[in-house]
Amino acid sequence: MVICFALRYFASTTAPMPYDEAMLVKATEEISLRPGAVNLPLHGYNHPLAQLYFAKLGTLLLGHNLVGFRFMSVVLGTAGCWLIFALVRRAWGVWPAVFSLALLCFNGFHIGVSRFALERTYLFFVALALYLFWRAVHEERPGLFLAAGAAIGVGALTSEHSLFLLPIFAIYLALDGEKRKWYGRWQTYAAVVLAFAIFTPEIYWMLTNPGEPGFGQGATQLDTGDQMTRLRPGRLSAAPLALYIPPLYYKFSERLSVYPVMSLAGGLMLLAGVLHATVTRQDSLSKLLLVLFWLIFAGFTFTAGPLGEFKWVAMTLFAAAPLAGRMLYRLFERQALYGVLGCISLLYIAAFGIWVANHSINCYYSPLWPPSDAQVSTCRAKQDLYVIVREECDFPSLMGSPLFPARYRSYYVKRYLLAISLLYNDDLPNEDPAEKLPRMLDAVLRIAPDDPEVRAWQRRVEDRHGGVQTTWP
């Protein structure tokens, strides 16, 4: 657990902010309990409110800096791994739990989602709800059923994905004859009501703020209903499989992910654990984890569409890791050769996880299956255009915040110049250079007004688009 925390903490101190995390900065700074100036936002950036307050809590504990801003994400990411360990230890014993923890601890994707102050902290509440729900039905403790409902509610206030646990739990109870008695208990329905009661701030925000601008200057906010419209029912998607086999993402998607990916060996091992559990005899916990995995995996395979993102099925990781951990333990028990091969695989997975934590700044791909340079350049340029131009996010002024360490300035200057060069050379389809170039240059000039390369680009653009009105001095 110490290694698990250390990897995520170190990664959180080295990774520059992606645009959606940057959009939370202003909102977090505006939270106030001062008399006469109380401001408690009911919505985050494109997701419910909880992540705003987690980030604010971290800055109150550790100061108004990047470490504090991301601290709760690191803590909750690590705690989620411990909850899976505790769940597996109760059901299958210590050593399967240790293997499960190792697979999560060094998982490159989980390290990636734990280092940013983003909505992926909902995974902690998924793990908490799984732990409480399984204990409730396995140990006949109705009070824990209510606690599981509360965990789902708080998780939904972080990301709407947590609500998928309600039908998953309902289907699990229906499939197990001994568990169907829970349909006759009031705690079952009270847990559902409690989950939605906790989620009411988001429901209220959606009803009272249709089309409300976001925290960026004119940035369009997305609520839960908007997020649902991103689904494309009936259209196949490789995104769920790409979480475990990352090269598929670069083959079938037009975008790259801001999150690091897991190693191919780790992904295949997790899938092998799921398939092994699917075709062998299942106990109570195996059934629950398989229902979770296959419903989410299959659901998004047939609804995410070609541009779906593998992070949408992130909660399946908490089903796959325990199943793979149990499979590894059984292999160690049966055959020494399998144990040696398993140790080699785990060492490779660990090395890959450590690599991810140490190379956070290049967060678009792994070194084993890099996309083309052109694909990376186009992805970064489009993201920067989205931030500066389409979202009208005042990203340069946000860099003056203590949450942005000065060492990241040159990183963003290089990225904005990349976008400018691709625009200038008409290498970004469907983008109008005459419209976009002045605002991109304005942004980079505000970051590095004395940089000679920036000024050179300014003169070059003015020579070609001399009639364009600019906002720089």
Examine residue 473 and state whether it is found in any structural domain, yes or no: no
Q: Which of 328, 358, 388 is the last residue of a domain?
A: 358
Is 155 found in the same domain as 26? Answer: yes
Question: How far is it, in rounded angstroms, from Cα 32 to Cα 28?
Answer: 9
Q: How far apart are CA 42 and CA 54, in angstroms?
A: 13
- The CA-based diameter of the chain, rounded to the nearest angstrom, is 77
Average per-residue pLDDT for the chain:
81
pLDDT (average), residues 432-459: 82
3-state secondary structure of 1: coil
Q: Is residue 225 part of a domain?
A: no
pLDDT tens digits for 255-312?
Answer: 565 567 788 888 889 999 999 999 988 888 999 999 999 999 998 888 766 556 777 8
Distance, in Å, from the CA atom of 447 to the CA atom of 453, rounded to the nearest integer, reads 13
Residue 226 falls within a domain, yes or no?
no
Are 336 and 460 members of one domain? Answer: no
What is the number of H-type helices and E-type strands within the chain?
23, 0
Residues 47 and 87 in one domain: yes
Q: Do residues 305 and 329 share a domain? A: yes
Residues 235 and 259 in one domain: yes
User: Of residues 381 and 6, which shows the higher confidence score?
Assistant: 6
CA–centroid distance for 432 within its chain:
31
Contact status, residue 188 vs residue 182, Cβ threshold 8 Å: yes
Residue 329 CA: distances (Å) to CA of 4, 212, 430: 20, 52, 53
Domain carrying residue 404: 373-464
Give the span between the Cα atoms of 465 and 460, in whole angstroms: 9
pLDDT, tens digit, 9 for 90 and up, residues 99-119: 999 999 988 889 888 888 888
Q: Are residues 10 and 103 in the same domain?
A: yes
SS3 32: strand
pLDDT score at 418: 84
Q: Among the listed ranges 197-211, 374-388, 436-450, which one has the minimum average pLDDT value?
A: 374-388
Q: Is residue 365 part of a domain?
A: no
Higher pLDDT, 324 or 21: 324
Same-domain status, 182 and 70: yes
CA distance 345 to 184: 46
CA-based radius of gyration for the chain: 23
User: Among 325, 358, 391, which residue terminates a domain?
Assistant: 358
Checking if the pLDDT of 469 tops 50, the result is no
Q: How far is CA 303 from CA 123, 295, 297, 376, in A?
A: 21, 12, 10, 26
Q: What are phi and psi of 464, to 5 degrees?
A: -85, -35
Nearest to 333 by CA among 86, 105, 96: 96
All residues at 6 or more sequence positions from 183 whose CB lies less than 8 Å from its CB, including other chains:
173, 174
* Contact present, 223 and 175 (Cβ < 8 Å): no
Q: Both 411 and 343 in a single domain?
A: no
CB under 8 Å, gap of 24 or more: what pairs does 412-415 form? 412/16, 412/447, 413/444, 413/447, 413/448, 413/451, 413/454, 415/380, 415/384
Question: Does some domain include residue 212?
Answer: yes
Q: Model pTM? A: 0.86
Say whether both 284 and 402 belong to one domain: no
Q: Are residues 416 and 328 in the same domain?
A: no
Residue 412, domain member (yes or no): yes
DSSP secondary structure of 247-286: HHHHHH-SS--SS----HHHHHHHHHHHHHHHHS---HHH
Residue 368 lies in a domain: no
399 with 340, same domain: the answer is no
pLDDT at 220: 46
- How many structural domains are present in the chain? 2
Tens digit of pLDDT for each residue in 210-241?
Answer: 654 443 333 345 555 556 666 667 677 777 88
Structural domain contains residue 198? yes
Q: pLDDT higher for 426 or 257?
A: 426
Residue that terminates a domain, selected from 311, 331, 358:
358
- Reference 201, options 263, 156, 145, 138; nearest CA is 156
Q: Give residue 96's pLDDT.
A: 93
Asked if residue 342 and residue 443 are part of one domain, the reply reads no
**Residue pair 48/151 in contact by the 8 Å Cβ criterion:** no
Average pLDDT for residues 136-143, to the nearest whole number? 91
